[in-house]
Structure 1
Amino acid sequence: MRRPNRRSVLGGGVAAVLAAAGLTACAQDQEKKAGRAPAGTRETAAPSREQAGLFMPAETREHVRTFMSWPPLDSAWEDMAGDVQRDIAGIARALAEFEPVVMLSAPKEAKAARRACGSGVEVIAVPTDDLWMRDSGPTFVQGPEGLAGIDLHFNGWGGKQEHEHDAKVARTVLEYAGAPRVDAPLVGEGGSLEVDGHGTLLVTESSLVNSNRNPYLSRDEIETSLKQLVGADKVIWFKGVKGQDITDYHVDSLARFAENGVVLLSRAWAGDGPDVWTRAYDQARGVLENATDARGRKFEIIDLPEPDPARLGRRGEDFLGSYANYYIANDAVLIPRFGDRKADQQAAAVIGDLYPNREILQLEIHTVAEGGGGIHCATQQQPQTAESSSS
C-alpha cells in the first residue's frame, strides 16, 4: 500500500496553499466566524442533476485521448527525476499504440519530452510541477451539451505539497479539449472517484471528509455534491486511511469497477501481520459484502493480491504495490509489473479474464511506484461523448 508520501513534502504546507488562493489562515477563521465558508467551499453551488445532467462515464468508454504530465527535472523527484521520466515516457509510448496521448510539459523540457516519448505523443508546452494528471487534471463528464470537465481545485492533497502550476492544469486541459469547466463546490482529486458507469460511485472517506480539503463540509454535504457532479445515484463509502500517504488513500489504489457489478479489491500484503493497510482492506471488503450497487445488484468481489515486498528488491517505504491502479485504454489495459513473478502473473491473469477483448500490457514503473503512485495516477482519459461513442 502507499507509504508516507510522493517523494517529499515540500515546504509551505496548508498556509502556502491558502496564500496562493488569496486567503490566509486568519482570513479563513474570520470567514468561518462570520458564518461563511471560504471561496471554493460551500458557497459555490453545484448544479442539480436535473439542471446540469452531468454524468461520469466508466473508464471503459471509448477515449478521444489520454492526458499525461511530464515531471520536470527540478521537481520533488530530485535525483530520481531522470528515472521517473523514463517511466512516464514508457507509459506514454505504450498508450500511443492504442489512442492519442497529449503530454503537458514545462516549456524548457518540452523538446526532451518529445524526444523521450516519440512522435506518437503530442507534447504541449505548459508549466507543470509533477506527473499526477489523474489528480491535477479535470475529471471529464457528459454534460447536457456534450463533454464537460470538473475542476476539483487540486491543492496538493490537502496542502502537503506546493503545486502552483498543477493547480492550473485542469483549466489548461479543458481549454485544449474545448470543454466547459464545472466549478466543483468541494476540494478533491480524480483518484478519489471510481464509477461503474451505471450510477454507483466508490470513494474513501479519508480523502474527502478531511479538514485538509473540505473543513466546512459534512459527509452528507460532500455526498450530495458528488452525486450531482458525476451523476451518481448511490455512493459507497470506505473508511480509508488518513495521514499515512500523501493522498489519504485514494480509492483507485484500493477498489476498481470491472463490468457487470464486479469490484477488484487490492488485497494488502499481510506477511508482517495486521496493519493500517490490511485493516483498510478488511473494512472495504466488509462494506462491499453488505452493499448493493445503484441497480440493486450484490457485488462480486475479486481480490488482487499485492506483491510480496521481499521479492521486490530494495523498495522504499512509499512504494505502491497495488495492481488495482491500472489504466483502461482503447483496446488495452495497462498494469504494473513489480518483480514478484507469481503476483505479477496472477494480476495479469485476473485482469485479463475481466477484460477479454483488450490487450493486457504489463509495464515496469518502479520509480513511479517508489513515489507512491501508479499508471492510473499518471493518466486522465477524455471520453467520447454519448452521441459519438460506440461503446
Structure 2
Amino acid sequence: MNRRHLILTGGALGLMGWSNRSASQPDLGYFVPAEETRHQRTFMQWPSSRRVYWDAAHLEDTQQAIADIANAISAFEPVVMLASAAEHASAKRKLSPSIELWGIPTEDLWCRDSGPVFVVNDSGQLAIRQIQFNGWGKKQVHTHDARIAGRVAEHLDLPLLPSGLQGEAGGVEQDGHGLLMAHESSWVNKNRNPGLSRDQIETRLLAAYGADRMIWSEGVWGEDITDYHIDSLARFTGPGRVLMNLPDEPDMRDPFHLAALDTHDRLAAEGLQIEVIPEPHSPRIKDLDFVAPYVNYYVCNNGVIMPEFGDIETDPLAQDAIARHYPGREVVALNVDVLGQSGGGIHCATQQMPAI
C-alpha cells in the first residue's frame, strides 16, 4: 500500500481547459498568499477508492487519520471535506459536527496535490489556479481527483485560471513573497510536462503563483510516486527562511538523502536562512519505505498541525523548532503514521483557502 511503489492504471486525465468560466480571462495580478496568512477555511478529501485502497482495514485506518487531522484543524478554522454523497454518512461518524461535507467525489486524500490552489489579487478578488492533476504522471487512478479543482471552482462560482502545467502543488513551495522552490523531478518530467523545458515550466509556475524568482534542485526521478515532492523536505516559514528535516547520518547510497543534501546546499548558496531538524531516529514504523517528515505540517489560523513519530528525542526537537518558527500559534502533534506508510503527511492532505 506504499505510494513509493503504487502503480495503478486506467485513471482518466482531467481536461486542461475545463472550467465554469472562460479560461481566457486575464489573471489580474493573482498570487498565492503565504500559508501562514489568515484562512477562510481548509479543504480536505475523503479517501474512498477501493482501486487505491485494496485492503479494507488500511482504508479504515487512513480515513480515521484524515478525520483526526480535520478534527484538529476544525478547532482553529472551518474545514470542508470533499466526498461523494454516498460517503457522507460514514464520514460523519468520524468527523466533528462542525466539519462541512460537500458532495464532490474523490478517490484519494491528497488535497494538496489534486485540490484547488487559491489565488488572490490586491483588489481582494479570489480565484482558483488550475495546475492539472494527472495522478502523479498517470501512476494512479484519478477520474474524480483530476476534476476536483474545477468542481470546487464551480461550487464557489470562482474563476478557474489555467496554468498550462500538469503537476501538484505539493511539488512546489512558495513563501507568498515572490520566491518558489521545487525539485526538477516533480515538474521537468515527461510524465507531467512533456515537451516543456525547465525554463518554460519555471515561467508558468512563476505566473501561476504570482512569484518572480525560483530555486531549483534536482530531486529524484522514478523512485516514489511523487518524484520527490519538496514539501516533505523543506518548507518556507517566512520570507527567506526555511525549515528542513535531514538525516543526522545520511546514507550516501540513498538517492533521497543525496538529493536532500543537494537541495540544502542550493538553498544555502542562494542566501536563505535555513534551520535543520533531524529526521526521527527511532520512529514507531521501522519500514525503510516509511516517510517521516516533520516539516510536512499544516499552518492554520492560530495553530500548526504537525506529525509525531514516537521518537522521544526528535519529536520534541521538531515541535520546539516549529513553535519557534510560528510564534503565538498552538502546535498540535498527531500520530498519522498510516499516511507515512502511504508516502505522505499532513500538509499533503490539506489545502488552504485564504481569507479576503
Work out which of the residue numbers 1, 9, 24 in structure 2 matches 1:11.
9
SS in 1 for 2:129: strand
Looking at structure 2, the residues matched to 347 and 177 of structure 1 have their Cα atoms a distance apart, in angstroms, of 37
Unaligned runs of 5+ in 1: 22-38, 292-297, 386-391
* Shift of residue 341, structure 1, vs aligned partner: 1.6
> What are the within-5 Å matches in structure 2 for residues 78-117 of structure 1?
78-79=54-55, 80-117=58-95
TM-score when normalising by structure 1: 0.84
Q: Secondary structure at the match of 2:68?
A: helix
1:140 and 2:113 equivalent?
no
Aligned with residue 191 of structure 1, among 164, 167, 170? 170
Alpha carbons 1:261, 1:300 under 8 Å: kept: yes
1:208 is matched with which residue? 187
Is residue 251–residue 257 contact of structure 2 (8 Å, CA) maintained in 1? Answer: no
Which residues in structure 2 correspond to 1:1-391 (within 5 Å)? 5=3, 8-12=6-10, 17=12, 52-72=28-48, 74-79=50-55, 80-143=58-121, 146-268=125-247, 270=249, 272-291=251-270, 298-308=271-281, 311-385=282-356
Partners of 1:348 and 1:211 lie apart in 2 by 38
Compared with structure 1, are the counterparts of its residues 272 and 250 closer, same or farther at alpha carbon in structure 2 (3 Å cutoff)? closer
Tell me if structure 1 keeps the 8 A contact 2:33–2:176: yes
Label 1:70 to 1:315 Cα distance change in 2 as closer, same or farther (>3 A).
farther
Q: CA deviation at 1:232?
A: 0.8
Alpha-carbon offset, residue 312 of structure 1 = 2.4
Q: Deviations over 1:189-235 (max 9, x none)?
A: 11012111111111111100000000111001111111111111101
Sort the Cα spacing of 1:45 and 1:267 in 2 relative to 1 into closer, same or farther, 3 A.
farther
Distance 2:126 2:150 in 1: 14
Residue 137 of structure 1: CA displacement?
A: 0.8
Q: CA separation of 1:315/1:176 partners in 2, compared to 1, >3 Å: closer, same or farther?
A: farther
Offset at 1:46? 8.5
Q: 1:8 to 1:317 in 2, by over 3 A?
A: farther
**Across the two proteins, how many residue pairs are aligned to each other?**
349
Structure 1 residue 316: Cα displacement: 3.7
- Taking structure 2 as the reference length, the TM-score comes to 0.92
Residue identity matched to 1:229: A
Aligned residues of 1:137 and 1:169 also touching (Cα < 8 A): yes
Residue 313 of structure 1 deviates from its aligned partner by: 3.9
Are the counterparts in 1 of residues 106 and 145 from structure 2 also a CA contact under 8 Å? yes
**Bigger radius of gyration, 1 or 2?**
1
Aligned position for 1:31: none
Helix, strand or coil: the match of 1:186? strand
Q: What letter matches 1:58 in structure 2? A: A
Structure 1 residue identity aligned to 2:90: A
Paired letter, 2:85: P
Structure 1 residues 269 and 4: alpha-carbon distance in aligned structure 2, compared to 1, 3 A threshold: farther
Q: Which runs of 5+ in 2 are unaligned?
A: none
